[in-house]
Amino acid sequence: MTDLLVFAAAEEEGGSFLVTPSVGLMIWTLLVFAISIYILGKVAFPRIAEALDKRQRAIEESIDASERTRRQADELLAEYRERLAEARAQADEIVARARKTGESQEAESLAQAARKREEMMEQARRDIQAETRRALQEIRREVADLTVAATEKVTRKSLTADDQRRLVDDALSELDFAALSAGNER
C-alpha cells in the first residue's frame, strides 16, 4: 500500500515513481530479479550452454575437417608434382631415345648408301674392265684381219695358216695394248 501512496504522491507531484524509487520497490525488483535468475539458471542457461557447446564442437570439428582436407590436398599436390616430374623425365627420356634412334638410323642409312655406292662403283669398274677386254679382243681380231689382208695385198699371194699366225703375232706384239686400255680407263 505504501507503494500506491508513493505512486499517487509522485503522480501528483508530476514525476515518475521510477525515478525516485523507494525501498519497497527496490526489494520487489531485487526479488523478481533473483527469481528470474533462478528460473533462467534452471531452464534457459543450461540450454544456452549446451547450444554453445554444440556450436563450439561443430566449429572445432569443422576446423579439424578443414585441416585434414588441407593436409590431403597438400599430399595430393605433392603426389601430383612428383608424377608430373616423373612424366616430364619420361618424356625427356622418350625424346632422347627417339633422337638417338633417329641419329643412328640416319648414320645407318648413310653407311648403307655409301656401301651401295661403292658396290655400284665396283660393278661399274668390273663392267668397264670387261668391256675394255672385249673391245681389245675385238681390236686384236680386226688388226689381225687387217694385217692378213694388207700382207696379202703387199705380197700378192695367199699366206698359209702358219704364216698368217706368225704375222699376226708379230703385229700384235708391236702394238701396245696396255696403253690402249689405260687410255680407256680414264
Please state at what angle helix 45-155 crosses helix 161-174, rounded to 10 degrees. Answer: 130
Say how far apart CA 42 and CA 29 lie, in whole Å: 20
Domain of residue 180 covers 2-185
pLDDT in tens, the chain (186 residues): 555 555 555 555 555 655 676 888 889 989 999 999 999 999 988 999 999 999 999 999 999 999 999 999 999 999 999 999 999 999 999 999 999 999 999 999 999 999 999 999 999 999 999 999 998 888 888 877 777 777 777 775 666 777 777 777 777 777 665 555 555 554
Grid cell listed for 21: 524509487
pLDDT at residue number 173: 74
pTM of the model: 0.38
pLDDT at residue number 102: 92
CB 17 within 8 A of CB 10: yes
Exposure string for 148-170, b = 16+ CB within 10 A, e = fewer: beebeeeeeeeeeeeebeebbee
Say how far apart CA 85 and CA 90 lie, in whole Å: 9
CB 43 within 8 A of CB 24: no
When divided into structural domains, the chain yields a total of 1
pLDDT at residue number 186: 46
